[in-house]
A and B are shown apart, each in its own frame.
Chain A
Amino acid sequence: MSPILNIQSLSKNYGAVEILKDVNVAIDPGDFLVLVGPSGCGKSTLLNCIAGLEPISGGSISIDGRDMTQVSPKDRDIAMVFQSYALYPTMTVAKNITFGMKVRGVDAATQARKLAEVARQLQIEPLLDRRPGQLSGGQRQRVAMGRALVRDPKLFLFDEPLSNLDAKLRVSMRSEIKKLHQNLGATMVYVTHDQIEAMTLATKIVVMKGGVVQQIGTPAEIYNHPANLFVADFMGSPAMNLIPARTQRAESGIQIEITRPEGAPMILQGPQVQDLPEDIILGLRPEDIIEAGMRSGANVQAAKCRIDLVEPAGADTYVVSELGGRQVTARLHAETKAQPGAMLDLAFDLAKVSFFAPDTGERLN
């Protein structure tokens, strides 16, 4: 299968400022690509480059095998949903949705049929005669989606379409977009700064920082094998614990030494065959630090830790302990007996461990 969207060594400058550096991404038809990263990292710029709304400074973008460098947005066979929705204020909802078809000279009967189809799909039939100013935020969002859906393009582009909605609506619209993707089988490129949105929607995630792609992978790859400290910290909530540690070669393999505020350092048995530098940062997700005895496995190792904080969160209880000079979060069962100030046996599941180099931040294993 040839990629529907292929971005090769793309760069983008505004004047002397480099906004995007050497971006390489390819996706297959039906993929849901999410571009995620902190605000200002160049996600919107990249999306605008794909749409042809911003000229690129280097590299190439091709859609369905065709080089897009000289192609204007209207001929790229794309549809886009904007963060601000960008509905045409003087047109009714119906006119907003059919504007693109009207401009392209689609006949009136087809326009009406497609409008009815999309309106039913998004449940906006009662709104068709209203103007954007008379709609709520959620309704505007639906109309913006409708304007894109009615086009049936090769590529859907979304720029933070949910970020202006309140939390509850955001979650329900998120599932609707996911359903839509599954039903249409369409290819989508979706920008967000919300890593949960990225994890729940994507078939493929691109994590960006400062205009540089940090990692590309499936949500599981990104979550379980973050390529560097930035990705490890950015993806997942609560964030991955990143604990400074020292390694020592022993006969049995590598020993990992983590300081504790009181008493001797904690010693964990590292993997058998692994070449690690002396100073490392050990990454473990909160769900891989549990109460001793709750999980079995060759790599589950227990150690006594002092609990500083207990945070019940309903389904789970998070406890915080200081290790290697960092606040380390563990995810325990809701029924845990953990008490702040008391010692508790915590189990560390090193099957899921990540090691990073403290200086470069790169993943070591």
Chain B
Amino acid sequence: MSDFSATPAVSPPVRPGQIALRWLLFSLLGLFALFYLMPLFVMLTTSLKSLEEIRSGSLVALPREVTFDAWRTAWSEACTGIQCEGLRPYFWNSVLLAVPAVLISTFLGAANGYIIAQWNFRGANLIFSAMLFGCFIPFQVVLLPMARMLGLMGLAGTIPGLIFAHVIYGIGFTTLFFRNFYVTIPGDLVKAAKVDGAGFFRIFWSIFLPLSLPIIVVTVIWQFTQIWNDFLFGVSFSQAGTQPVTVALNNIVNSTTGVKEYNVDMAAAIIAGLPTLLVYVVAGKYFIRGLTAGSVKG
């Protein structure tokens, strides 16, 4: 009797019709989930089979004998054209490219968003509109001018060149994210800090950035997914040795002579996709929270 509050005195009556509806809903959702998980299942099982087993067995069957040979091959032996070093070097290319590009574009987005949302200056709206417009420019349109730019800057075919391209292309989105987050923060905060003696950067650093964790997570996930998964910039602005993992994956899948090693292809595809998956798993909770943060506060 001591724990009254745990048992509500009146539980809302649930009609049988409602229960049936709920079951139907969940079955339907489960079905959709299965449908979308199917390819992943096939990829995973195929990557763990040997080539003979793939040729003899059914596509959806579980592997009779689990082997990681295909993974090893994909990581360090598969051929991408004339070289046969697997995905490993390209995977590191992608890391070296994505990490700085994500950090730089996120930081610039935060600074831009802060300025546009909290420091009313002449033309702030115009600049913001221009940046928004930048979000809607398709990759293909940027290719030629960007190639020329990178050439002029001496960055053609280098990882810094790719970082530059991704940072420029990403600023529109990151600015949008941060600007929309920062407009929900009352302007009195800036006024109070100004009276307290803090300047432009001090206010950004001490007051706005610490507030920004949810939107930083959103932006990092978004940018990382975009940049890691990018193929077009990767294939256009890199050369042998600086290609990102997506381009290498394509080369592995397309350049096999003779038998098609499906297990290696699948393993390589999973390896290439793993980091984005990992980022979602680690930060997904914050992602949802960050997306709704503005609306909950307002």
Contact = CB atoms under 8 A, between A and B. Distances in A.
Contact of B193 (A83, A88, A104): A88
A89 interface: yes
B196 A103 contact: yes
B192 A80 contact: yes
B194 A74 contact: yes
Choose among A88, A90, A91 the residue with the greatest number of B CB atoms under 10 Å from its CB: A88
Given A86-B186, A89-B211, A90-B207, A100 B197 contact: yes
6 contacts: A72-B194, A84-B188, A88-B206, A90-B211, A103-B197, A104-B197
A74 B191 contact: no
Given A99-B196, A103-B197, A104-B197, A86 B207 contact: no
Interface string A29-56: 0000000000000000000100101000
A82 B197 contact: no
B152 interface: no
A78 interface: yes
B198 interface: yes
A74 B186 contact: no
Contacts of A73: 191, 194-195
Helix, strand, loop or mixed for chain B's interface? helix
Given A100-B196, A147-B192, 16 more contacts: A48-B191, A72-B194, A74-B194, A74-B197, A80-B192, A82-B191, A82-B192, A84-B188, A86-B186, A86-B191, A88-B206, A91-B210, A99-B196, A103-B197, A103-B202, A147-B196
B189 interface: yes
Contacts of A79: 195
Nearest to A100: B196
A257 B211 CA distance: 67
Contacts, number: 57
A156 to B, nearest CB: 11
Interface in A50-97: 51, 53, 72-74, 78-80, 82-84, 86-91
A235 to B, nearest CB: 28
Nearest to B186: A84
Contact of B195 (A74, A87, A89, A91): A74
Interface of B: 186, 188-189, 191-199, 202, 206-207, 210-211
Can you list the 8 inter-chain pairs with the closest CB atoms, starting with the nearest? A100-B196, A86-B188, A74-B197, A86-B192, A90-B210, A103-B197, A82-B188, A73-B194
Contacts of A87: 192
A90 B210 CA distance: 6
A115 B102 CA distance: 41
A356 B198 CA distance: 50
A: interface residue count bin: 20 to 34
B191 A53 contact: yes
A103 B203 CA distance: 10
Contacts of B211: 89-90
Choose among A53, A87, A91 the residue with the greatest number of B CB atoms under 10 Å from its CB: A53
Interface of A: 48, 51, 53, 72-74, 78-80, 82-84, 86-91, 99-100, 103-104, 147
Contact of A80 (B195, B198, B202, B207): B195
Contacts of B210: 90-91
Nearest to A144: B192
Contacts of B193: 88, 99
A122 B4 CA distance: 39
Contacts of B191: 48, 51, 53, 73, 80, 82, 86
A109 to B, nearest CB: 19
Contact of A53 (B195, B197, B198, B199): B195
A80 B194 CA distance: 10
A74 B198 contact: yes
Nearest to B198: A103
B189 A88 contact: yes
Choose among B186, B188, B199, B202 the residue with the greatest number of A CB atoms under 10 Å from its CB: B188
Nearest to B209: A90
Contacts of B207: 88, 90
A84 to B, nearest CB: 5
A99 B206 contact: yes
Choose among A51, A87, A89 the residue with the greatest number of B CB atoms under 10 Å from its CB: A89
Contacts of A51: 191, 195
Contacts of B189: 86, 88
A51 B210 CA distance: 26
Contacts of B199: 74
